[in-house]
Every structure is written in C-alpha cells, then in structure tokens.
Amino acid sequence: MPSKERRLHLPSILAGFWLAFSVSLAAWWLIFGLKQIDRMKMLQHELASEMVRQQRMVIWEGLFLILCLLAGGAALLYYIHQERKRSLQIREFFATFTHELKTSLASLRLQSESLQEDLRESIGSSKVLSRLVNDTVRLEVQLENSLFLAHADSSRLILEKVSVRKAVEAVARHWPGLSVQLTAEAYVRADERALDSVLKNLLQNAVVHGQATEVRVDAKTRANKVELEIKDNGKGFKGDTRELGRLFGRHYTKSGSGVGLYLASELMKKMGGSLSYLDAPNGFAVRLQFQEAA
C-alpha cells in the first residue's frame, strides 16, 4: 500500500483503536463494578436491597457509557470517511485540471515556437516570442511540479532502464537558448517521467535563477552506481547549500519557492538514488546518483 494511502487510513486506524480501547475499558469497569457489588452482597446480607440498587445503577450507567462511546466512535469514523472522500475528489479534480491546462500550454508553446521560427529576422518580435516561449516552459514545469506534489506519496514509480543521453536531449529541447553538453552515455535504473521532471527542474533553476547559458553533464559509473554531475556557468548560489531544497524556503527576495529542488530530491530518493550539492567556484553544480541499469 502506498504511503499516502497509509496516511489516509491512519486516522481511521487510530479512531478504531480508540473506540476498541474505550469500549473495553468501559466493559471492564462494568464487570469490575458488578463483581465488587456481588462481594459486598455476600458480606452484608442486611444491605441486600441497597446492593441491588447499586447493581442496577452500575449496569445502566455502564451500558449508557458504552452506548455513548459507540456513538462517538461511529461519528468519528463517519467524518473521517467523508474527509477522505473529499480529499480524493479534490486531488482528482486537481489532476484533471492540471492535465487539461498542460495540454493547452503545450499547444501555446508549439505555436509560439512556430512564430519564432517565422519571425526570426524580426529582432523585436523574436525577443518577445522568446520570452513567451520561456514563460510557457516555466509554467509547464510548475504545473508538473504541482501535479507531482499532489500525488507524491500515492504515485508509483516504474523503474526501468533509461538512457541518460535520450533523457537529457529530450529535456534540453525546451530551452533552445541553453547549450547542454553530455560527456558520456550511461544507462540508469529510473522512472522515465520522474527523471524528466528532475532534469527539467535543474535546467529551469539554471536558466531562471542562475541565468546560465551553458550546462555540462558528466556521467560516471562507479561500483554499480551512475553519477551525473550537472554544472552550469550561471551566477551560482551564495549561501548555505544545506538550506537548498527546503520546501517553500526563500533565501533572498528574488529566490523561488524551493519546490523544484525539493521535488527533484524527493524523486531521486523514490528512485533509490540521491541528490547532493557540490562546491563550484563558478556556477551551480549538483550530483545525481542512480543505480546502474543491468
């Protein structure tokens, strides 16, 4: 069972445990009280009538307590079930809405790229269209990140043999003004869609925040591990790299929300790999570690 589903079931499990414990406690209290009354009846025959009254009182109060606990537990389970249904409906709506919006954005980006090719000789129009293409790519990446975050725990990754060269080339096409060089081919064990998202976020970070024009991807294989060192020639990061990848953490006024690097790190963990930040004198550098594909 995915961890997201386990988390959704956790309140129900806790409510069920509380209900069972409370009812058991009430039943124990009822049985214990009745036993004590029976003992007192045996010791004090002259108070038999009083003991009978106390016995009836304990029985009715115990039954009422158990009834209240059952009603409260049932109501709690019902509202948890309703909350789960509403949460699933919201996630399904969000996924459908994001998918439809991504389709429209992809169409808009293709039309913008076509116009850019047609008006390449017009300098002013070309600059405007370049900004439009970059903005549509950026919005598309943000939508994909939102979709991954919404289903981060419930989505199941399919690990298979993936060519690093094909993955890098497919992602690099989204930024025609960015020179991306891969030094060597490698095959990693990864989810193709997740790897695509990781690379998109890293290149998006290099272009938007680092204002890089070149990215170099070095592939190395060591002891059944494949390491990809991704370095750009941008402005780099002036701060504590341990703070990078913190969700919604802003390091300065113009920094992003941290969603891209956070999601890239989480996806690498789900694929059995890791993402770490390297010290680079110029630009920004990260290391991605994968399992080598058999």
Q: Cβ(214)–Cβ(181) under 8 Å?
A: yes
The residue among 157, 146, 155, 153 whose CA lies nearest residue 4 is 153
Instruction: Let me know if 104 is exposed, middle or buried by CB neighbors in 10 A (0-12, 13-18, 19+).
Output: exposed
The one-letter amino acid code at 36 reads Q
Rounded Cα distance between 62 and 79, Å, is 26
Q: At what angle do helices 48-118 and 3-43 cross, to 10 degrees?
A: 180
Residue 127's SS3 state is helix
**pLDDT attached to residue 123:** 52
Answer yes or no: pTM beyond 0.75: no
- For residue 4, the model assigns a pLDDT of 47
In which element (H, E) is residue 114 found? helix 48-118
User: Are the beta carbons of 141 and 200 closer than 8 angstroms?
Assistant: yes
Write the DSSP symbol of residue 293. Answer: P
d(CA 167, CA 192): 8
Q: Considering Cα of 119, then 125, then 127, then 129, what sign does the dihedral take?
A: negative
What pLDDT is stored for residue 152 in this prediction? 60
Between strands 274-278 and 225-232, the pairing is unpaired
Q: Can you give the pLDDT of all 294 residues of the chain as single tens digits?
A: 444 445 556 666 767 777 777 777 777 777 777 777 676 666 666 566 666 676 777 777 777 777 777 777 787 788 878 887 887 777 776 666 666 666 666 676 676 667 666 666 655 555 666 666 666 777 777 777 777 766 666 567 889 999 999 999 998 888 878 899 999 899 999 999 889 989 998 998 888 888 889 999 999 988 889 999 999 988 887 776 676 766 655 555 555 567 788 888 889 999 999 999 888 778 899 999 999 887
Token couple for 185: 């081919």
Residue 252, pLDDT score: 52
